[in-house]
Amino acid sequence: MKLMRLPFFITVALLVGSAGYAAELRLSDYIRPMVGTKGEEGNTYPGPSAPFGMIQISPDTDTTNWNTDSGYAYADPTILGFSLTHLTGTGCPDLGDFLFQPQVGTPALEAGTKDRPQEGYQSTYSHAEESAGAGYYQVLLKKSGINVELTAGERAGMFRFTFPAAADASILTDLAHLISGGRWRVAQSHVRIEDNSTITGFHLVNGWAKERYLYFAARYSRPFDHAEIFSAGKPVVYNTYRFRSHNEAAGTNLQFLASFKTGDHDIIQVKVAVSAVSAANALQNLDAEIPGWNFDLVRERTCARWDQELARIQIEGTPVQKETFYTSLYHASLAPNLYEDVNGQYRGFDSAIHQAKGFTEYSVFSLWDTFRAEHPLLSLIQEPRDADMINSLLVHYDQSVDHLLPMWELQGNETWCMIGYHAVPVIVDGYFKGVKGFNVQRAYDAIKTTALSPDYDSVAAYAKLGWVPCDQEDESVSKTLEYAYDDWCVARMAKALGKTADYETFMKRAASYTNIYDASIGWMRPKDARGNWRTPFDAHAFGGGNKLADVTEATSSQYSWFVPQDVPGLIRLMGGNDSFVAKLDSLFDANLSQVFRDEMSTNDLRGCIGEYWHGNEPSHHVIYLYSYAGQPWKTARRLHQVITTQYGNQPDSLCGNDDCGQMSAWFMFSCMGFYPVCPGSDYYVIGAPQIPHVVMHLSNGKQFTMAAKNLSDENIYVQSVRLNGRDWDSPFLPYRELKNGGSLIFTMGSNPGAWGTHPVLPQ
């Protein structure tokens, strides 16, 4: 597949080798938006977005398949049109607001089917006539011969439609279109024809986000020859009884059709913007961000923004490495999304309009995923933005009816997706990584109040018993483990703030993981309120075998490793280093149990190595645990295996949901040779670098350089390390060694060697 039509000089440059072409290519040229679009795993979208942008215009090939969560599946034969908002890598569909689709001939108002696209507005297309890059997407719609180009700024984007000659060209806007998995619905919408080349619209959606408001504005480069609104497929006509305007309509199934007569190659451009506040704000966003009609300028500005973002981590490597790495950084820089208008207004967790004061409001917090590596990455290279995100979490806390930090926030709504209270590690990690710009006392109050919630997910029972009782609460194994870690984060911050009583309370809770370890089977195991183990129980069954309910999206053999706050304690529980390593080995060497296999799709299984499942987050820190047990070479071996088999620069290169950047952030840390196994702690675990040279530009202006001498496909093991000019034998990288810049120089070799085999955790 040709992801991007490169100019000729670049194609030539590619042929002369990495040294030769580096000078010619911009960093944004390495972005491959198609990565993650093939198969049902990645759930990324190919359309353009500015870094952390509010608008993401992208083609939708499906709205009803539950697993096509970004709206685009590479294998789908048709494109329904191009909607303005998309989620990146989530495991649940939503957004896809306001579809635009150009047509020629009698305009279709129904989508039609993939099998019979001629009966609707969807069109066949070919990947050979499709291209995607930073701030740009292009496709030729086969049915109409219309070439579609998309670009996007932060809140506003632009369509460039190149039409054939047609007496009846048109552009349809469907306000009822949603990426719904067949479930979500528009509760209310309206549309207004503001003037002869401008429309605005709105819908209120009952979706994954239970009550989601979104507005849009669109300005067309040419006055409409004819403009018509449809409701449930029928023209909204002026009538003298109840509705005396053909310029606006309200309802649940509205469409707008702009019609034109076009000459061959006539270009019609449409500028679009969104707002969660009002149509007026959408118009303001549009006019502020894209005052003119220069598509290429919008694209170029967004490319320049991407150049800036990607320059935060500069690497050397092969073109494939660069494409994979920079696409990862791209994917890790799409969400959370900007969620305030140019005037600072946003729609809060209480559905009301608020003014962001002293911070920028962000939305889309996939926290169960992103606390692991995505936010730790942002705290290093995006400190001001991470502060904005923390402030966004705090206003959500203020606005939440239950005074809880968000669990999975989506456009001003709590989706209550997943488990734990992982806004806590995001805030605590930010605090310990020196992120400034949020009120520390207010943040501490929020994390403590959240962790002490009397209502949320059996936290109260957990606090009392020391574990989440499996007879009272689903997913009790995972919840116990994750609460314990989150509580350790609270304790860390309590200690730093001199709150000794809180520190002791939460440190006690942080040890709760010990309460559900069943030494007789060697795995974490659900326990009821009276202290009895769940029986029968299968540690290798998805969900634990108990109607899938005891373990979250995993087996106990995968989840039992989630004790990042006290890996030495876990090692002791599991019988010491040798036993621990043997158990880790057994995970990778296992034959996948049938009961696990039954729950996984064929695509998901691509992400498995034995029972290790890289495609889902509970496994993400597991490989690094070898290093705690004195066998860092096993970390190196498995990292190399995962990075070479589960990532790449192709559409099918992602083996699991990118989950708003978490999969990508894992890749980048791992390539750089260290990983935040325990966000909120003061250290990273040194793994094994996968690229020869990295310069990370920290937010404080310092540079941290990583170099991997002698790295090759054979030389995957760390032989020695020099950290800031000193020999460094520990597999742990203290944050204090990183934060002021410096260097981490690996010497690699083909044998495991003895480096790092005597781990001592930094104090």
Q: Which of 416, 504, 702, 760 binds its own copies (CB under 8 A)?
A: 416
Q: How far apart are CA 340 and CA 285, in angstroms?
A: 10
Inter-residue long-range contacts of 125-130, CB under 8 Å, 24+ positions, other chains counted: 125/77, 125/78, 125/79, 127/1, 127/2, 127/74, 128/1, 128/2, 130/46
Query: In 3D, which of 567, 560, 477, 563 has the Cα closest to residue 522?
Result: 560
Write the interaction track for its own copies spanning residues 472-501; mark x where CB under 8 A is met and - where it is not.
Answer: -xxx--------------------------
CB of 211 to its own copies, least distance (A): 5
Cβ contacts of 58 within 8 Å, gap of 6 or more = 45, 46, 47, 48, 70, 71, 72, 82, 83, 86, 137, 150
Residue 218, phi then psi, degrees to nearest 5: -140, 130
Pick the piece of the chain touching its own copies (CB under 8 A) from 77-85, 407-415, 435-443, 687-695. 407-415
As given in the structure block, the two tokens for residue 23 are 């000078």
CA separation for the pair 756, 729 (Å, rounded):
5
Residue 75's identity, in one-letter code, is A
Shortest gap between Cβ of 251 and its own copies (angstroms)?
9
CA angle, 708 as apex, 702 and 712 as ends, to 5°?
150
Q: Which of 762, 761, 759 is nearest to 629 (CA)?
A: 759
Structure tokens at 299: 């694209």
Query: What is the smallest separation between the CB atom of 450 and its own copies, expressed in angstroms?
Result: 12
Work out whether 677 is an interface residue with its own copies (CB under 8 A): no
* 14, 204, 605, 761: residue in contact with its own copies (rule CB under 8 A): 204
Number of residues lying near its own copies (CB under 8 A): 44
The answer to whether 452 contacts its own copies (rule: CB under 8 A) is no
Q: How far is the CB of 202 from its own copies (least distance, A)?
A: 7
Containing 696, the helix (H) or strand (E) segment is strand 693-697
- Cβ distance to its own copies smaller for residue 329 or 407: 407
- The minimum distance between CB 219 and its own copies, in angstroms, equals 15
Which of residues 128, 242, 520, 763 is near its own copies by CB under 8 A?
242
CB of 246 to its own copies, least distance (A): 7
Q: Which of 32, 190, 299, 372 binds its own copies (CB under 8 A)?
A: 190
**Which tokens belong to 32?**
């491959």
202 near its own copies, rule: CB under 8 A: yes
Residue 42 vs 420, nearer CB to its own copies:
420
Q: Is 572 in the site for its own copies (CB under 8 A)?
A: no
CA distance 580 to 531: 25
Nearer Cβ to its own copies (104/191): 191
- How far apart, in Å, are the Cα atoms of 364 and each of 350, 393, 426, 707, 726? 16, 10, 14, 35, 42
Is residue 341 within 8 Å of residue 284, measured between CB atoms?
Answer: yes
Question: Which residues within the stretch 243-302 sit at the binding site for its own copies (CB under 8 A)?
Answer: 243-248, 250, 252, 277-281
Residue 238 sits in the site that holds its own copies (CB under 8 A) = yes
Binding test (CB under 8 A) with its own copies, winner from 41, 340, 457, 486? 457
Give the nearer residue to its own copies in terms of CB position, either 282 or 716.
282
At CA 246, angle to CA 244 and CA 250, rounded to 5? Answer: 85
- The yes or no reply on residue 185 touching its own copies (CB under 8 A) is no
Collapsing DSSP to helix, strand or coil, 729 comes out as coil
Judged by CB under 8 A, which stretch of 6-14, 190-198, 364-372, 598-606 contacts its own copies? 190-198
Q: Which of 402, 504, 589, 598 binds its own copies (CB under 8 A)?
A: 402
Nearest approach, Cβ of 428 to its own copies (angstroms)? 22
CA distance 319 to 553: 35
- Which residue lies nearer to its own copies by CB, 190 or 433? 190
Smallest distance from the beta carbon of 495 to its own copies, in angstroms?
29
237 binds its own copies (CB under 8 A): no
CB of 195 to its own copies, least distance (A): 9
Q: Return d(Cα 599, Cα 597) in angstroms, integer.
A: 5
CB atoms closer than 10 angstroms to residue 521: 15
Residue 413 is encoded by which pair of tokens? 């709504």
- Single out the segment in contact with its own copies by CB under 8 A; choices: 115-123, 377-385, 400-408, 743-751: 400-408
CA 628 to chain centre: 28
Annotate each residue in 741-760 with x if it binds its own copies (CB under 8 A) or - if it does not, as one string. --------------------
**Binding to its own copies, residues 337-396 (CB under 8 A):** 350-353
- Give the DSSP H or E segment for 148: strand 146-152
Bridge partners for 497 per DSSP: none
Q: Is the CB of 9 or the CB of 416 nearer to its own copies?
A: 416
Q: What is the largest CA-CA distance in the chain?
A: 87
Among 407, 539, 609, 688, binds its own copies (CB under 8 A): 407
In the complex with its own copies, the residue whose CB is nearer, 138 or 480, is 480
| H or E stretch covering 133 | strand 130-133
CB of 280: closest distance to its own copies in angstroms?
Answer: 5
Minimum CB distance to its own copies smaller for 526 or for 749: 526
Minimum Å distance from CB 467 to its own copies?
Answer: 16
Of 190 and 396, the one with the shorter C-beta distance to its own copies is 190
Q: Which of 137, 183, 144 is nearest to 160 (CA)?
A: 137
Closer residue to its own copies (CB): 167 or 460: 460
Under the rule (CB under 8 A), what is the footprint of its own copies? Answer: 187-188, 190, 192-194, 202, 204, 206, 210-211, 238, 240-248, 250, 252, 277-281, 350-353, 401-402, 407, 414-416, 455-457, 473-475
